[in-house]
Amino acid sequence: MTATTLPVRLRWDGQRAEVWSWLPEYQIEGEALAQIRNIAALDPAARVAVMPVHKGYGMPIGSMLATRNAVVPYAVGVDIGCGMIAARTDRRVEELSRDRIRRVSEEICRRIPVGIPTRSDPKRGSHAGRQNSSVLREWHERRGGAHKEASHVRERGDRQLGTLGASNHFIELQSDQNGRLWFMLHSGSRSFGKSIGDHWASEALEWCERTGHSLPDRELGYLPLPGPGSEYIDDMTFALRFAEESRWRMYDRCVDSIAEVVGKFAVVEQIETIHNFAAIERFDGRDLVVHRKGAVRTTHDRGRVMVTIPGSMQTGSYIGLGKPSALSLDTCSHGAGRRLGRNAARRAQPGVDIRAEMEAQGIVLVCPADADVLDESARAYKDIEEVMSFQSDLVDPVVKLRPLGVVKG
């Protein structure tokens, strides 16, 4: 991969924050660019980093916003704690036939509910029913009283614990360049995270209006820290923990599914990466609230960290080693990023049978019969090779993974 002239600094009138981009400006679609200009104009904004972005609530997905003494709920988004687990096994891909890949994928889909229905859906059979999340119990006891319909929020979250959902969430069986079998899981906090995000976005807008703080966009309400923003951080942390609890439950079922078909095996490496969260971090002697939305932290107190960077269900993914960066505040992309919105992707591919297309590529796709996953095709995403090249100063590619079997909702 060759380095480029990126990052570039983007400048407009009315900016309060420096904006650095690891995506050429001509590749940033208009609505996402408008959102970038808006977050850079926020009063508490200090730094913005732009990765492979597409439009989101208030702030585009695939970007980082650092603020001074304030938190912006929609700069984290509604799928709080969304992230990935990648696991390398001791099995070689050559040991698995296409039929066994299919059987493992089908077993995963049997054990883990996927798609829009939750565990209350009778079609889910033995998976139906309340799961009694320890995180949700604690949230309801400590924080639920501050939220309307807290019991409903908890009950719905319980029914979605350990479920994959739909959209861009997936479970994949993969092969690395050395022929080792990996599996990767991408999931978030489902309706619980959305209820937290929407609740506090509304509270933030009300606070800004009541205190006379003007906003470039009503979806960019913020809350002061210390102050009411601390309550958002508390709730966000519960959503992060719920997403983690849910993800690891699915991980265990993936392990069971693989063992059911291929026999005893061992996981020799695990990498978990979170890409929707906010944290108070210290840079250049000052504390900043760093919001990463569709973006990943590349360092830890102990140094560089391994990160997962998926491309698409047809093109594969990367495991990378993060690099420190003063410009991005130690942040890199969480994936290739969408090139086309969901409806636009469908319009651009009339008549395409994505299942047959993937079969011809040697990739097994398992999803509900009525699922429309055409909007998750490679055509809907930016080129992962180009994206990795663009951010070569933020992350070193270590492992390249190609998809073998894909489970989608």
Q: In the block, which residue shows the tokens 């992309």?
A: 333
Sign of torsion over alpha carbons 163, 169, 175, 180: negative
What is the rounded CA–CA span in Å between residue 403 and residue 386? 18
Q: How far apart (Å, rounded) are the C-alpha atoms in residues 354 and 373?
A: 8
Query: 244: which 2 tokens?
Result: 């983690």
- Identify whether 334 is a catalytic site residue: yes
CA angle 205–235–215, rounded 5-degree value: 15
Task: Report the distance separating Cα 75 and Cα 67, nearest Å.
Answer: 10
Q: For strands 83-92 and 267-274, give the pairing.
A: antiparallel
Dihedral sign, Cα of residue 29, residue 35, residue 38, residue 43: negative
The amino acid present at 311, given as its one-letter code, is G
Of 54, 147, 291, 334, the active-site residue reads: 334
How far is it between the farthest Cα atoms of the chain? 65
Nearest 5°: phi and psi at 382?
-70, 160
Which residues participate in catalysis according to the annotation? 334
